[in-house]
Amino acid sequence: MHDKTLTDLAADLAAGEYSSVELTDHLLKRIERLDPSLNSFISVTGDDARNSATQADDARAAGKGDRLTGLPIALKDNICTQGVKTSCGSRMLDNFISPYDATIVQKLNAASVISLGKTNLDEFAMGSSSESSFYGPVKNPWDLTAVPGGSSGGSAAAVAAGLVPAALGSDTGGSIRQPAAFCGITGLKPTYGRVSRYGIVAYASSFDQVGPLARSAADCALLMNCIAGHDPRDSTSVTRQVPDYSAELDKPLRGLRIGLPKEYFGDGLAAEVESAVREAVRVYESLGASVVEVSLPHTHYAVPTYYVIASAEASANLSRYDGVRFGHRCHSPTDLEDLYKRSRAEGFGDEVKRRILIGTHTLSEGFFDAYFTKAQQVRRLIQQDFIDAFNEVDVLMGPTSPTAAFDLGANMDPVAMYLQDVYTIPSNLAGITAMSLPAGFDGKRPIGLQLLGAHFAEAQLLNVAHQFQQATDWHLRRPVFAKETI
């Protein structure tokens, strides 16, 4: 059961091949046995999951189940879940039990989807390796000496290892797509505003977006059908009809126009990654697509622009963690100032502190116009680059990350770590949709292919990804770790 896709499991449950209780129990046993080697989970909610599975089986027996009823997934631990710790991988929230459900959790519960637990992540979703978590680093199931990517590394590792068939993550600058690439699975970042952010602990509010990580594009489509849609509690949520994301997966690609941004194939791109992407392009050409080179001329400014704006927003969002209302509180403060200083110094890790300091500096008097205002102006230029490109082509294609997964502890320089997201950050700045899918290997470590679409083009991207996955078997490859039976 653990080697099947979400789509296959849905069909099996509908056919009565096994029950949701049996499936849930099987996966919980795998988590108990295998996750100590991966550290992909922060919390495992076994009792709640088994109770939910029993209810799902009862619903199916009564003829009330739908396609997702009884399917188990995992949630990134920055998604508020009532009665369950929501830590964001931080000491600051180690004692925080959420009093409410995020909107997407409410939608999953309404569909009788079962959560097996909360997955590990870079602290407050700030990182590209899942090494900055208060609970320790996550390991890549393809190679336990490698990182799984970040910040949704726990979700990606759990899916790749066969602990869950799918999971939800969040993507602020590539935090769904880069882990998906490093772990050899499929991950989708929806258009900003397509999925509600209500109940998602904020890092950078104008970037954060929740999306699925799974084994195939078809699986991602299933989850998008559940979680997408307008939410009146989220002021950035878009009032727009939600299509059936599974409806056009089998649409032929003849006539599709693919653009290759020349800026994505320059210095810093590993030869093995470029070779895999070029081979994927040839597959698309064989499927009837045409390929042209395009330019996104302001790509060079994407990384500094992102880290100015995102750090500024993080500085504002994380100011609420002061040791007074909730979260970590220092022991025996001498006065209010000591309470603030020591609670924040003890509660936050190094990378979070670094981004708070950067953000506070760029927002300070005398620097606001020079940094923050200028970065917002460049952000608009980057968005216009994509608008112009999509006037010429239907989708853009390139590498997800400059390299395959790097070694644990090998990329500790902050600037080098930031550059891991050089190809993923631009789509977050523009607010467009993008996804990563498996397209090869560098040795035994997976390589990701990135697809980028215009605003609200998720259905088209999923179709383009699905057709590639029908023509190749990269998404069917499993690490030896995942093949271990329990």
Six token digits for residue 401 = 């990350």
Residue pair 10/71 in contact (Cβ under 8 Å)? The answer is: yes
Please indicate whether residue 196 is annotated as part of the active site: no
Told to judge if 175 belongs to the known catalytic residues of this protein, a careful annotator would answer yes
Q: Which residues contact 405 (CB under 8 A, 6 or more apart)?
A: 140, 142, 143, 146, 147, 148, 149, 182, 183, 445, 446
The active-site residue, picked from 98, 112, 133, 175, is 175
What is the rounded CA–CA span in Å between residue 95 and residue 91?
8
Count of beta carbons in the 10 Å neighbourhood of residue 442: 16
Asked if the bond preceding 175 is cis, omega within 30° of 0, the reply is no
Q: For residue 222, how many C-alpha atoms fall within 13 Å in the half-sphere facing its CB?
A: 27
Confirm whether 29 is a catalytic residue. no
- In the set 20, 76, 216, 401, the catalytic residue is 76
Amino acid identity, position 280: A
Listed in sequence order, the residues at least 6 apart from 340 whose beta carbon sits closer than 8 Å to its beta carbon are 322, 323
Nearest one of 243, 161, 168, 153 to 199, comparing CA atoms: 168
Q: Which of 151, 170, 311, 427 is catalytic?
A: 151
| Surface-to-core class of residue 290, CB atoms within 10 Å of its CB (0-12 exposed, 13-18 middle, 19+ buried) | middle
187 and 176 Cβ atoms separated by less than 8 Å: yes
Integer Cα distance of 54 and 282 in angstroms: 47
Neighbouring CB atoms inside 10 A of 269's CB total 18
Helix 458-471 to helix 217-227 angle (10° resolution) is 160
Nearest-angstrom CA–CA distance, 74 and 324: 31
- Beta-strand (E) ranges in 154-206? 166-171, 186-189
- Of 101, 61, 103, 66, give the one whose Cα is nearest residue 81: 101
Beta-carbon contacts of residue 367 (< 8 Å; ≥ 6 apart): 361
Residues 6 or more apart whose CB falls under 8 angstroms from that of 464 comprise: 253, 256, 284, 395, 451
CA-closest candidate to residue 455, choices 293, 251, 238: 238
Q: Which residues pair with 131 in a beta bridge?
A: none
Catalytic residues: 76, 151, 175
